[in-house]
Amino acid sequence: MQNYQHIGHSAVRVDGKEKVTGAALYTDDLDFGPNLLYAEVVEGPHAHAMILSIDTSEAEKVHDVVAVVTGKDFPYNFGLYMKDRYIFAQDRVRFFGEQIAAVVARTPHAALKAAKLVKVNYKPLPKVLCPVEAIAEGAELLHPNLKNYQHVPWFFPQPDTNIAHHRKIRKGNVEKGFDDADFVLEDTYNVPRYSHCAIEYHAAVAKYDLSGRLTVWASSQSPHTQRNLFANALAPLGIKHNDVRVIAPHVGGGFGSKAGVTMEILAAAIATKVPGNPVKVLWNREREFYNTYQRLGVVAKLKIGVKNDGRITTLKHDLFWDAGAYVEYGANVVNAVGLSAIGPYKVDNASIDSYCIYTNLPPGGPYRGFGYSEFLFGLESHMNRIAKHLNMDPVEIRRRNAIKEGDLTAYGAHMNPNGLHKAIDAVEQKIQWNQPLISNDPNIAIGKGFSLFWKAPAMPPNAASSCFLKFNEDASINLLVSGMDIGQGFLTVMAQIAAEELSVPTSKIRTENPDTDRNPYEWQTVASHVTWGCGNAVRKAAIDAREQIIELVSRTKFLPKETLFLENERVKCTTDPSFELLLKDFIINGIQAEDGTFKGGPILGRGVFMPEYTSTNADPETSQGGHPNVHYTVGAAAAIVEVDKQTGKVRIRKIVEAIDAGKALNPSLVEGQIVGGVLQGISTVLYEEMKFDHRGKMLNPNFTDYKIPTALDVPDEIIPIIIEVPQPDGPYGARGVGEHPMIPIAPLIANAIDNALGIRITSMPITAEKICLTYLDSQKKSSI
Amino acid sequence: MTKISFILNGERRSLDVEPYEVLLEVLRDRMGAKSPKCGCDSGDCGACTIHLNGRSVRSCLILAVEANGQEILTLEGISRHGLSPLQKAFHERNVFQCGYCAPGLILSATELINNNPHPNEHEIKEAIAGNLCRCTGYTPVVEAILHTTKKE
């Protein structure tokens, strides 16, 4: 085991002091001076309708109104993976609350007042609110132009249907697998939509200055991707990539909602109509619910065959995703699940059909877990039910099937090194799985649950990270990266990596959220990949800087390179203990030679990382042949719950979760992800529920009616366990852990409730009401 | 317009406000106190928590005119003299992630400790139950407060 000075230590967050003092500034905290304009959007009151006419004349008359813009001003489409989205609705609206126009005014009050005066005539169209209905014969088409949308080569839209993408896996012989099975279980699982509920709203301020420079300040997980999409969408206006600058202040929570581009493009586009004035677009809590990405809903049909010893012979998984009105990002959730819906198991015969289906509900998009929480609800419920039928221990059936390094994934690539079996053992032991649970209260049933999880980063095969490392005169460092610290502690870990390679304290490394003019390229902060991807780039940049330092000292001090090393902000020599050169004495101004001249100059490190073994080139009918995922992060979790038989209320006594981080670069931050992610998972299974009425209007877009947990709703105990089986191409062996902690929680709780009460609930959320009614129903049936 | 004045973080401030202006907006947009945040605008999330005469309140639910003659404390006021023991514990233990709920949470916890120097776990959870946090799972917050307030 290598001895590290910084890696593996729980360094204090580099942004910690800002955050505990109130110094941390978020987008809406920035001041933009007296010229700041405010934009208010006009929303469509139909889930599906043609726009016949828009009359802005009354709105334009309101005092302090500067401009009113509509779809006609921006006849452009855009999108991350498929260009199916519009800045403002064009000929039709496709979800309730979609933006049709915006009023720009000197005050928020004037903008709001005028927005209400924009008159729009609609012709309502039949709407489709359910994915299964949307693919029925004769269903209303949401995107008649689907066949003409540009998209990435790994999507397969089906023209003249509502299917925007269909990912298929065909591996082995599924039918023979069912024939060989001793037991087959088939059922359907329903997972509804969820909202991210970052506490900070989406916010964007854009300024198109009089020289044609477009600057956007945004609460963002994706500054460079936003720059790219803004520049591409606004290219008809003559805007080039280097005309666009995205500045990302602190982000008050992302969870996927601030990835890609949603409302930020409104600010960018509107600004071009009011040159010289910054324009602010600020969402509110209601719009956070119905006009940003939502987690996609899914109807998942699952059929698994097993032998009597519990070994899986075959798996068939059909997933019908409610992807919403625009799927430019959400279709990749569908794709990711299509590739991985065998779960963390060795499955020789598999068939997966993952359908991305347009519906007249808000656009589905990335949400922590990227589809894996959704399919694991069914899969991990199924594994427990199969174990119950076979009279096997739920841990044992998982152990028997759990994937190992070198086993083939659903698409035929080899599974990466991983600690899944170690995680199973660790969790089983820590929760004392074999200890009987006895309730002293006849009204309280106690149960235990178990679940495995896995997840791979879902990203283009050539998603890249880069880093510049600049020394200052005092040998302090500015580390320039474009990953976003959205709370996970990314910047702290990047500082630790540079500190490790250069032997400087993390306190001397300044690293901040990016400005695309200043910081080099990063694809996006999503997919739990930045610690791995950007971490590699930072390490390379630090090594690059170190090599320059060693080279300079070697040639000016006439010492062999291999004898020089860095320690404690100094260059030292293995063969001459008396030699030491302080970095600050030469890191900018060079080293003076005996003839009085200077050698060297400012040390600048540069690092780039892109995986060079990934490919999406595969047979679209089987998905065999490519290597779409870089690696999977795996783990296991167990829970002990109490259920009140009379009220259905669940109290979670204990959750143990083990995750294979490869190498925990900062254990305290990894544990923070586990504890926070577990509660977010609990919230989706026990509390949260988006309600839509028959018009497709969300009924509970606020924290009064859409409940997320408070401090009083936490489990009695959450025990995080870190497993470390190194990832060969990860920095120090690290792989991502940000999304994963919440992924196993829904089936975990469902399994524990079944264990407590003998009831199986196959639709989320599993509210107290649902538990109570299901339990009463089961008691009636058993008494008949 | 009505002229009002209040003590903000120890300093007397005066300004003219419209009767409909909300205290949160006035503090942020006209007084430059940016630590109180808006997360719901309806009193659900607690991100706008400030102290009004030593009691924690939701500044999004209070009209600016109601603050006339009162004493207001925001996180900026607490931080002026360096980190309080509570802030120090939050900092050293890497409690916060995105940090957006931190100003409100610290104000609620500070009020608790002012009134009850050695709260138990349930009292802590009760005191911060009005401050929503989506990142931390609350457990690190509660542990840090317990750590700060435990009896020697």
Determine contact: B74 vs chain A, CB below 8 A: yes
- Output the CA–CA distances (angstroms, integers) from residue A746 to A289, A429, A676, A708, B59, in the order listed: 21, 21, 15, 15, 36
Determine contact: B44 vs chain A, CB below 8 A: yes
Nearest CA of chain B to the CA of A8: how many Å?
Answer: 15
Whether residue A703 and residue B42 make contact (CB cut-off 8 A), yes or no, is yes
**Residue B90: its chain A contacts at CB < 8 A?**
16, 20
The answer to whether the Cα torsion of A746, A752, A757, A758 is positive or negative is positive
Cα–Cα dist A101/A269, whole Å: 12
Whether residue B76 and residue A198 make contact (CB cut-off 8 A), yes or no, is no
**Residue A710: its chain B contacts at CB < 8 A?**
125, 128-132, 138
Which amino acid, residue A584? K
Q: Given A17, A250, A710, which is nearest B132 (Cβ)?
A: A710
Interface of A with B in 139-168 (CB under 8 A): none
Complete domains list, chain A, with CATH: 16-23+463-609 (3.30.365.10), 32-125+202-282 (3.90.1170.50), 297-459+616-783 (3.30.365.10)
Nearest CA of chain A to the CA of B5: how many Å?
Answer: 23
Beta carbons of A684 and A745 less than 8 angstroms apart = yes
For residues B44-68, give the mean pLDDT.
Answer: 98
Determine contact: B124 vs chain A, CB below 8 A: yes
Determine contact: A108 vs chain B, CB below 8 A: no
**Residue B80: its chain A contacts at CB < 8 A?**
none
3-state helix, strand, coil in chain B (%, to 5): 40, 20, 40
Interface of A with B in 645-684 (CB under 8 A): 668-669, 672, 675-680
Burial class (CB in 10 A: 0-12, 13-18, 19+), A492: buried
Whether residue B94 and residue A13 make contact (CB cut-off 8 A), yes or no, is yes
pLDDT digits (tens, 9 = 90+) for A42-96: 999 999 999 999 999 999 999 999 999 999 999 999 999 999 999 999 999 999 9
Please list the rounded mean pLDDT of every run of 10 residues in chain A (784 residues).
Answer: 91 98 98 97 98 98 98 96 98 98 98 98 98 97 98 98 98 98 98 98 98 98 98 96 98 98 98 98 98 98 98 98 98 98 98 98 98 98 98 98 98 98 98 96 98 97 98 98 98 98 97 98 97 98 98 98 98 98 98 96 98 96 96 98 98 98 98 98 97 98 98 98 98 98 98 98 98 96 74
Interface test with A, best of B44, B90, B97, B108 (most A CBs within 10 A): B97
- Following DSSP, what letter does each residue of A193-235 receive, concatenated? -B----SSPPEEEEEE-TTS-EEEEE--S-HHHHHHHHHHHTG
Cα–Cα dist A592/A94, whole Å: 69
**Which residue in the list A264, A286, A739, A769 is annotated as catalytic?**
A739
Interface test with B, best of A17, A20, A221, A700 (most B CBs within 10 A): A20
A314: its two tokens: 């075959």
| Confidence at B151, pLDDT banded by 50, 70, 90 | confident
Question: Running DSSP on this structure, what letter comes out for residue B40?
Answer: S
Interface contacts (A, B; CB < 8 Å)? 162
Active site residue A739: yes
Closest of A163, A78, A149 to residue A354, by C-alpha: A163
Complete domains list, chain B, with CATH: 2-78 (3.10.20.30), 80-149 (1.10.150.120)
Beta carbons of B141 and B105 less than 8 angstroms apart = yes
**Residue B136: its chain A contacts at CB < 8 A?**
672, 675-676
Determine contact: B101 vs chain A, CB below 8 A: yes
Assessment of whether the complete model's pTM goes beyond 0.95: yes
Q: What is the pLDDT of residue A784?
A: 63
| Phi, psi torsion values for A655, nearest 5 degrees | -130, 130
Beta carbons of A40 and A279 less than 8 angstroms apart = no
Closest of A166, A38, A54, A150 to residue A101, by C-alpha: A54
Angle at alpha carbon of residue A619, lines to A616 and A625, rounded to 5°: 60
Q: In A647-763, at which residue ranges do the beta strands (DSSP E only) sit?
A: 650-660, 717-723
N- to C-terminal Cα separation, chain A: 63
Residue of B nearest to A201 (CA): B39
Closest of A291, A403, A365 to residue A40, by C-alpha: A291
